[in-house]
Structure 1
């Protein structure tokens, strides 16, 4: 049996994936009455032999991470549309967005307990990603929720682990030299030499 292969629709994930970072504008909403600006970053990669794309998103405001999200993308061959499953640190159930491309723009919609959401991605520039999200209570009148423009950035290389400190050499115990044993000098007593006996001269007869 031949295994399924990714379609041309799945292969679009290859251009969508990457590391994206850029500025965001947040419009006043029930969740943020004053709105403001933030920095958003998404790291996404193609997975499962090209059938899905997995992404991790975080938002920073004043140097502090204030929002995190996780997404899993696929293409529904039966319904012929893109599907994104989204979880975030707000603690709500998974949100499911569905939509399609019109040229290089992907528009997706989701309905949950808080209303209707419309998310648009513009991939017309390979190194710049523009996105915006809109919200609506009736699905007819839409208000901006946020807009962002992100640029493709190089992947951060993992920092090399610090080199392990060389093991301290074991201190060798100094070899203690045994103190030299002083031998008492032996006084050699010399015996007095015996006097030589003179041989008597033989008398002449």
Structure 2
């Protein structure tokens, strides 16, 4: 059997490769009071080009308050994007968020017993906007939890 290789959607994900930094606005949530923060991402390609690996740090009040690690793949069965997220809150990342590209916007959704989330990565040449909208158990509508505006450092 020939091993599969990266395709066009892997190339789209690879546009994130590099270091990014930006300002974030968080809404009050079960995890904290909200407010302003600074976020840093480092993206790199791994697993022979078949995955995008993501490391993240959020800084509030001069110290790192939150860390995360993400793994994106192009699912060979659906051709959609799957994203597993591990972070300092410690929740298991199953199921992955799933979604698709819509032009330069990657839209993802995830449903867990704690609620549902929508993630939007709007990618430009040297900038991207990342939004998280949550709908917790008992809520009818999604509410923006976080918005970050990031610029490429390298």
TM-score bracket for the superposition, by shorter chain length: over 0.9
Shift of 1:28: 1.5
- Does residue 29 (structure 1) correspond to residue 29 (structure 2)? The answer is yes
Q: How much does 1:140 deviate?
A: 5.3
CA deviation vs aligned residue, 1:119-178 (integer Å, no higher than 9, x gap): 00001x210010100011368511110000000003xxxxxxxxxxxxxxxxxxxxxxxx
1:30-49 pair list within 5 angstroms? 30-32=30-32, 34-49=33-48
Cα distance between partner residues in 1 of 2:136 and 2:71 = 26
- What is the CA-CA distance between 1:29 and the residue it aligns to? 1.6
Structure 2 residue runs without a partner (length 5+):
none
Q: Cα deviation per residue 1:86-144 (whole Å; 9 max; x = unaligned)?
A: 11111211141100011111110111232000000001x21001010001136851111
* Structure with the largest fraction of strand: 2
2-structure distance, mates of 1:147, 1:80: 27
CA offset digits 1:19-78 (Å, max 9, x no partner):
11000000122222x320000001110112211011110100011100000111100121
Unaligned stretches of 5+ residues in structure 1: 155-205
Q: CA separation in 1, counterparts of 2:62 and 2:44?
A: 25
Partner of 1:115: 115
Larger Cα Rg: Structure 1 or Structure 2?
1
The equivalent residue for 2:104 is: 104
Secondary structure class of the residue paired with 1:50: coil
Structure 1 residue ranges, 4+ long, deviating more than 3 angstroms after superposition: 137-140
Task: Let me know the Cα RMSD of the aligned residues.
Answer: 1.5
Structure of higher RCO (CA pairs closer than 8 Å, 6+ residues apart): 2
Q: What SS does the corresponding residue of 1:12 show, helix, strand or coil?
A: helix
CA distance in 1 between counterparts of 2:3 and 2:70 reads 26
- Corresponding residue for 1:51? 50
Aligned residue pair count? 152
After superposition, the Cα gap between the structure-2 partners of 1:126 and 1:140, relative to the gap in structure 1 and judged at 3 Å, is: farther
